[in-house]
Amino acid sequence: MPKKESALNNELIELLQGEKIVSLITTDKDTQKPNLSIVSWLIAYEDGKTIKFALGHKAESAFNIQHNPHLILGVVGAGSCYSINGKGKVSDIIDKTMKYRIVTVEVEEVEDVIFYGGKITQEPDYIKTYDMDLAKKLDEEVYDLLKS
Please report whether residue 103 resides in a domain. yes
Q: Which domain holds residue 110?
A: 4-117+127-147
Is 0.75 surpassed by the pTM of this model?
Answer: yes
In a domain, 10, yes or no: yes
Is 122 inside a domain boundary? no
Cα separations in angstroms, 48 against 6, 36, 78, 97, 123: 9, 24, 15, 30, 21
- The stretches of 37-93 forming alpha helices (DSSP H) are 60-67
The enclosing domain of 54 has a CATH number of: 2.30.110.10
Q: Is residue 15 part of a domain?
A: yes
Cα angle 144, 55, 16 (rounded to 5 degrees) comes to: 60
In the chain, at which residue ranges do the beta strands (DSSP E only) sit? 4-5, 22-27, 34-39, 42-44, 50-56, 70-77, 80-90, 94-95, 99-112
**Distance of alpha carbon 39 from alpha carbon 100, whole angstroms:** 13
Residues in Cβ contact with 12 at an 8 Å cutoff, skipping those fewer than 6 apart: 44, 48, 75, 77, 78, 82, 110
Q: Is residue 66 part of a domain?
A: yes
For residue 20, tell me if it sits in a domain.
yes
Q: Domain count of the chain?
A: 1
DSSP 63: H
Q: What is the pLDDT along the chain (148 residues), one digit of tens a residue?
A: 457 999 999 999 999 998 999 999 999 999 999 999 999 999 999 999 999 999 999 999 999 999 999 999 999 999 999 999 999 999 999 999 999 999 999 999 999 999 999 999 999 989 999 999 999 999 999 999 999 8
